[in-house]
């Protein structure tokens, strides 16, 4: 496994939910972190004592076309290198196949869940190449593996994340860049609470997803794992 100490990782959507647990876990493992969020004071509030030293905080709004370049250059200015990118920030809106939903909701999901991660990967690319063992972890979903409900718009974006992950693997392979799509079912965060009344204790816990992210970041170039499906319930793999 790669030694986390000295390695620099960017995590988007670190203010709450899985992103926050990922940030805490990676910090505890010794990574240097560049955390992106829409509200710096909210980030400061949740990251607390960890600010300073190995952690830097940056304004990152996935709707801002200039955000990716600004965050990556601030990361390089602060930490001097970049070894990993965790595209975690995401939104879910009710956009179904049938119905008269506002097209802007589909556009918003496409922007935050797909286009913004693409922009971050592009900006991070030269630095991930320079690392020699660059890693990208994309937070996809079981909704990007199969259709099990009425989440058409969201599912489209998560299927797209699988495509982005594979493209990164293809283009980055000879430069030591490896990419992994993490595909959870319900995870106990605000996003799932808005969708289901299922007891949060019965869902996958965000800490467990954080452990998967850490594994994807630490596996050597010779142990590439393209996808990790993780589920709180039995589902046949078709």
Which token pair is 1?
A: 């496994």
Residue 184 interacts with ligand NAP (CB under 6 A): yes or no: yes
Query: CB of residue 136 vs ligand NAP: minimum separation in angstroms?
Result: 14
Q: Is 57 an interacting residue with respect to ligand NAP (CB under 6 A)?
A: no
Strand order in the sheet with 178-184: 55-59, 32-37, 8-12, 84-87, 135-139, 178-184, 227-230
Binding of ligand NAP by 37 (CB under 6 A): yes
- Stretch touching ligand NAP by CB under 6 A, among 73-81, 84-92, 123-131, 212-220: 84-92
DSSP 8-class letter at 187: B
Our CB check for ligand NAP shows the closer of 131 and 157 to be 157
Query: Interacting stretch for ligand NAP, rule CB under 6 A, among 23-31, 51-59, 86-94, 210-218?
Result: 86-94
User: What b/e readout covers 162-191, taking b as 16+ CB neighbours within 10 angstroms?
Assistant: bebbeebbeebeebbbbbbbbbbbbbbbeb
How many angstroms separate the CA atoms of 33 and 24, rounded?
Answer: 10
Long-range pairs of 143-150 with CB within 8 A, sequence gap ≥ 24: 144/181, 144/183, 145/183, 145/229, 146/235, 146/238, 148/235, 150/94, 150/96, 150/97
Q: Which is nearer to ligand NAP, 133 or 179 (CB)?
A: 179
Catalytic residue among 31, 60, 154, 186: 154
Q: Does 186 bind ligand NAP (CB under 6 A)?
A: yes
User: Can you tell me whether residue 209 is helix, strand or coil?
Assistant: helix
Tokens of 64: 């801002």
Report d(CA 165, CA 137) in Å as an integer. 8
Q: 1-20 mask for ligand NAP (x: CB under 6 A)? A: -----------xx-xxxxx-
Q: Can residue 72 be called a binding residue for ligand NAP (CB under 6 A)?
A: no
Q: Residues 46, 59, 191, 229: which binds ligand NAP (CB under 6 A)?
A: 191
Residues 196-235 that bind ligand NAP (CB under 6 A): none
User: In the chain, what's the furthest Cα-to-Cα distance?
Assistant: 51
- The nearest distance, CB 29 to ligand NAP, in angstroms, is 19
Report the nearest approach of ligand NAP to the CB of residue 184 (Å): 4
* Distance of closest approach, residue 138 Cβ to ligand NAP, in angstroms: 9
CA separation for the pair 150, 131 (Å, rounded): 41
Q: Which stretch binds ligand NAP (CB under 6 A): 23-31, 56-64, 120-128, 162-170?
A: 56-64
Q: Is residue 186 among the annotated active site residues?
A: no
> d(Cα 9, Cα 7) in Å, to the nearest integer?
7
| Residues tagged active-site | 154
* Site residues (vs ligand NAP, CB under 6 A): 12-13, 15-19, 37-39, 60-63, 88-91, 112, 139, 141, 184, 186-187, 189-192
């Amino acid at each position: 496994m790669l030694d986390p100490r000295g390695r620099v990782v960017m995590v988007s959507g670190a203010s709450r939910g899985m992103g926050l647990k990922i940030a805490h876990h990676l910090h505890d493992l010794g990574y240097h972190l560049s955390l992106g969020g829409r509200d710096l004071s909210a980030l400061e509030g949740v990251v607390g004592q960890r600010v300073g030293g190995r952690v830097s905080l940056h304004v990152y709004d996935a709707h801002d076309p200039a955000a990716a370049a600004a965050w990556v250059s601030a990361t390089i200015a602060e930490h001097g290198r970049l070894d990993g990118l965790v595209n975690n920030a995401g939104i879910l809106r009710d956009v179904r196949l049938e119905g008269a939903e506002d097209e802007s909701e589909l556009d918003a999901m496409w922007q935050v869940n797909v286009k913004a991660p693409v922009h971050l990967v592009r900006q991070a690319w030269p630095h991930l190449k320079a690392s020699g063992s660059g890693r990208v972890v994309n937070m996809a979903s079981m909704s990007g593996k199969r259709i099990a409900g009425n989440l058409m718009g969201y599912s489209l974006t998560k299927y797209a994340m699988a495509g982005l992950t594979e493209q990164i693997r293809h283009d980055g392979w000879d430069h030591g860049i490896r990419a992994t799509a993490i595909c959870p079912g319900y995870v106990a965060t605000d996003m799932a609470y808005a969708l289901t009344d299922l007891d949060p204790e019965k869902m996958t816990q965000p800490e467990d997803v954080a452990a998967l992210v850490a594994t994807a970041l630490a596996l050597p170039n010779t142990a590439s794992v393209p996808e990790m499906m993780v589920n709180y319930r039995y589902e046949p793999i078709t």
